[in-house]
Amino acid sequence: MVSDCIFCKIVAGEIPASKVYEDDHFLAFLDISQVTPGHTLVIPKRHARNLLEMTPDETADLFNIVSRVTKKVEGATQPQGMNIISNMEEIAGQSVFHTHVHILPRYSQEDDLKIDFIAHEPDFEHLAQLAKDISNH
Ligand code: 5GP
Ligand code: ZN
């Protein structure tokens, strides 16, 4: 437990949360700011800064629970679609530095979640080089 971590405090029961799922290793609870109704966070109980600090096996176990909880949220809220997002570091919008995955039901394109993918013209030479660099890492 990291003493100044708000999500460690939720795991320890030191501050309250609206829990929707809990087992020995994971916890899911409603995000306090409800960007859309049903906005839920899934966290590992063991503190890690974000997904970049977790092993592939730990992340796989986390996403097993994300899948289960996503289906529970979908069943309860009946949205038209959903987003699953995990922010890593401040530049990517991370504000709580204990790994969490956002589950966001979507009801309308005019709701309060804004994600813009600005498309660019493909540069196939660059794509080939980049793919090589990534696959060799
Ligand atoms: P991030 O910006 O790090 O991806 O997301 C952190 C999320 O944690 C935010 O959506 C914020 O509303 C939520 N949050 C911050 N403090 C609390 C809290 O004390 N309780 C709950 N349930 N959610 C919190
Ligand atoms: Zn923590």
Whole-number pLDDT of residue 29: 98
Whole-number pLDDT of residue 3: 86
Whole-number pLDDT of residue 1: 86
Class at the top of the CATH hierarchy for domain 6-112: alpha beta
Domain boundaries, the chain: 6-112
User: Which residues contact residue 101 at a Cβ distance below 8 angstroms, ignoring those fewer than 6 apart?
Assistant: 41, 42, 43, 62, 63, 66, 84, 85, 86
pLDDT-based confidence at 117, cuts 50/70/90? very high
Among 9, 96, 74, 81, CA closest to 45: 9
The pLDDT mean for the chain works out to 97
What are the DSSP calls for 117-128, one per residue? -------HHHHH
| Percent above pLDDT 70 for the chain | 100
Q: How far apart are CA 116 and CA 97, in angstroms?
A: 24
Name the closest ligand to CA 112: 1
Residue 96, ligand 1, Cβ within 6 A = yes
pLDDT-based confidence at 70, cuts 50/70/90? very high
Residue 17, ligand 1, Cβ within 6 A = yes
Per residue in 12-66, pLDDT (tens digit) is 999 999 999 999 999 999 999 999 999 999 999 999 999 999 999 999 999 999 9
> Residues with catalytic annotation?
100
- Identify residues whose C-beta is under 5 A from ligand 2, the ion: 2, 5, 7-8, 47, 98
Q: How far apart are the first and last CA of the chain?
A: 32
- Are 12 and 58 contacting, i.e. CB atoms less than 8 angstroms apart? no
